[in-house]
Amino acid sequence: MKRNTGKRRQMLAVLSIAAVLGMAVSGCGASPQDVRTDTGETGGTETETAVENNPAPEGEDNQIADVSEEEETEMKMQVEVGGSTFTATLVNNSAATELAQMMRNQPVVIQMSDYAGFEKVGSLGTSLSTSNQQTTTQAGDIVLYQGNQIVMFYGSNSWSYTRLGHIDDLTGWRDALGNGDVTVTFSLEE
């Protein structure tokens, strides 16, 4: 019996050392960029926290801090529909960045159809990166569905979407969307 207990202790010691080494090694190659995630809350990202807790050594440029400052700048787009123009604030994620890049080249024009009496949906014609999360939308939300469809809400729905942005002022939003199909033009605010 003592022999099994000794082997068990040796095995636990080896596993403990391996676990500690694994954690240490996994952190060695990580940079604050590797641990960045959108928190979905105002007040910053984990990148900013990582930069604050691990400042760059004296004399080195702190490129990560520069990226965080850029991320804090809100990107705005114009949404033209039904003869009205609305301003929307884009969220900070890959899909919204990719959409903004498309709009830098030229305005993005999408034919959108009414669906279920609470949203307009239309094909983007290309796929964007997704970071789908179960979401309960509200009027004014603009999301990506299945990576290649833009959905704009005038009602509420719960589904798995990638958030793109939100209309800043909903005055006239429902009336502009109307009851049928619409043509929507997305462009970067100048």
pLDDT at residue 190 in the model: 75
Which fold, 75-188? Cyclophilin (2.40.100)
The string of DSSP codes covering the chain is: -HHHHHHHHHHHHHHHHHHHHHHHHHHHS--GGGG----SSTT--HHHHHHHHSPPPTTS--HHHHHHHHHHSPEEEEEEETTEEEEEEEPSSHHHHHHHHHHHHS-EEEEEEEETTTEEEEE-SS------EEEE--TTEEEEETTTEEEEESS--EEEEEEEEEES--TTHHHHH-SS-EEEEEEE--
pLDDT at residue 62 in the model: 37
pLDDT at residue 86 in the model: 98
The string of pLDDT tens digits covering residues 81-107 is 989 999 999 999 999 999 999 999 999
Stretch 167-189: mean pLDDT: 95
Reply yes or no on whether the pLDDT at 177 is more than 70.
Answer: yes
C-alpha triplet 55, 21, 12: angle, nearest 5°:
145
Q: Where are the domains of the chain?
A: 2-72, 75-188
Record the pTM. 0.63
Q: pLDDT grade, residue 72 (50/70/90)?
A: low
The string of pLDDT tens digits covering residues 135-166 is 999 999 999 999 999 999 999 999 999 999 99
pLDDT at residue 163 in the model: 97
